[in-house]
């Protein structure tokens, strides 16, 4: 009975693959991208998040915490993350849902029950299920089983990956995958390490595995002004994509939608001063990609 660590199942997704989809977000990621908009996905284990706007300072969680990791400070509830064991007791007793345990073990059958609810939408729109994260290949056995079961039921499958995984994990999941969304963040290994804490050799090797598999691939590029968006940097990325025999590219402009999640996890946001790319910067990148015969579009 294979289980997966899931932190969200989002129905009626329209940006995570063709058609109307159900996106399954899996916990755990080896990268630490500075702009990550799902920080709750990074660690593989369940975690407590605190929504201060919901909190009434009633103190119920303080009494319930067996580790004495919660106190009422000047600015409200404070969680000592070094003492907290993420047991979830505080979330269980909170009367206002200000505390929540993010991440739970789910069976493939449980996830499929959610996926099947929108089967008619998939059929009409050409949609299906997308495995995202985190890095879904960190749980390759679970994703492979989920995708295999989806395939048996005629449900289209999409793998949304950073590319950072073992070749074996890739091959295991690709056998049941219809389309891959593959991130290319930077071509230079040192710059990639500055951005994500890891170099990109494994990612570039895995890109070739995906290409040789014959599965449809769309390259997705996060656009971060000052980090990877110069003409030279984007030209190097365009050459890599073209020389790999691919031509479909999605640009993902940087945004700050995930900043509030860092606060709920008591983490510092790494790119506080970074601003989203201007429209003219994105337009210039699209034109440059077109010069390399790439079909490029901006996805907001």
| CA–CA dist 94, 100 (Å, integer) | 9
| CA–CA dist 164, 141 (Å, integer) | 16
Q: What count of other Cβ atoms lies within 10 Å of the Cβ of residue 239? A: 13
pLDDT per position as a tens digit, 100-146: 999 999 999 999 999 999 999 999 999 999 999 999 999 999 999 99
Query: For residues 46 and 86, is the Cβ–Cβ distance under 8 A?
Result: yes
Alpha helix (H) residue ranges in 218-276 = 231-243, 259-264
Average model confidence (pLDDT) for the chain?
A: 97
pLDDT of the residue at 295: 98
Q: Which is more confidently placed, 300 or 211?
A: 211
- Packed helices 108-116 and 140-152: angle between N→C axes, nearest 10 degrees: 40
- pLDDT of residue 296 exceeding 90, the answer is yes
| CA–CA dist 254, 289 (Å, integer) | 18
Residues 6+ apart with CB under 8 A from 123: none
- pLDDT of residue 1 exceeding 90, the answer is no
- Point out which residues pair with 252 in neighbouring strands: 222
Give domain limits for the chain: 3-44+103-298, 47-101
- pLDDT of residue 89 exceeding 90, the answer is yes
CATH superfamily of 3-44+103-298: Aldolase class I (3.20.20.70)
Question: What six digits make up the tokens of 167?
Answer: 């070749």
- 3-class SS at 206? helix
Which pTM was predicted? Answer: 0.95
pLDDT of the residue at 4: 98
Cα–Cα distances in angstroms (integers) from residue 30 to residues 148, 163, 168, 204, 228, in the given order: 25, 11, 16, 16, 20
- Write the Ramachandran bin of 9: left for phi over 0, alpha for psi from -120 to 50, otherwise beta: beta
Say which range, 18-22, 54-58, 73-77, 169-173, has the weakest mean pLDDT: 73-77
Residue with tokens 């932190």: 7
Question: What six digits make up the tokens of 278?
Answer: 């201007």
- pLDDT of residue 75 exceeding 90, the answer is no
| CATH topology assigned to domain 47-101 | Alpha-Beta Plaits (3.30.70)
pLDDT bucket at 188, cuts 50 / 70 / 90: very high
pLDDT bucket at 300, cuts 50 / 70 / 90: confident
């Amino acid at each position: 009975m294979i289980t997966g660590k899931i932190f969200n199942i989002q129905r009626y997704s329209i940006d995570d693959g063709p058609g109307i989809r159900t996106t399954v977000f899996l916990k755990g990621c080896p990268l630490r991208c500075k702009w990550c908009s799902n920080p709750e996905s990074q660690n593989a284990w369940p975690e407590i998040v605190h929504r201060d706007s919901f909190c009434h300072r009633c103190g119920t969680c303080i009494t319930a915490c067996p580790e004495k990791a919660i106190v009422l400070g000047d600015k409200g509830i404070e969680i000592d993350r070094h003492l907290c064991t993420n047991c979830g007791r505080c979330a269980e007793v909170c009367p206002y849902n200000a505390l929540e345990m993010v991440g739970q073990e789910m069976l493939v059958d449980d996830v499929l029950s959610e996926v099947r609810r929108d089967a008619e939408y998939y059929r009409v729109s050409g949609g299906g299920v997308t495995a995202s994260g985190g890095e879904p290949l960190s749980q390759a056995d679970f994703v492979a089983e989920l995708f295999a079961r989806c395939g048996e039921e005629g449900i289209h499958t999409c793998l949304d990956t950073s590319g950072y995984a073992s070749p074996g994990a890739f091959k295991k999941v690709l056998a049941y995958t219809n389309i891959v969304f593959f991130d290319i963040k930077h071509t230079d290994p040192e710059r990639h390490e500055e951005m994500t804490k890891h170099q990109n050799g494994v990612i570039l090797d895995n890109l070739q595995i995906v290409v040789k598999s014959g599965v449809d691939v769309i390259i997705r590029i996060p656009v971060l002004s000052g980090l990877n968006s110069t003409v030279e940097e984007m030209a190097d990325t365009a050459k890599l994509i073209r020389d790999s025999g691919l031509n479909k590219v999605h640009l993902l402009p940087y945004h700050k939608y995930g900043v509030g999640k860092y606060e709920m996890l008591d983490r510092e946001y790494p790119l506080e001063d970074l601003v989203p790319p201007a429209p003219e910067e994105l337009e210039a990148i699209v034109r440059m990609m077109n010069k390399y015969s790439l079909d490029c579009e901006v996805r907001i």
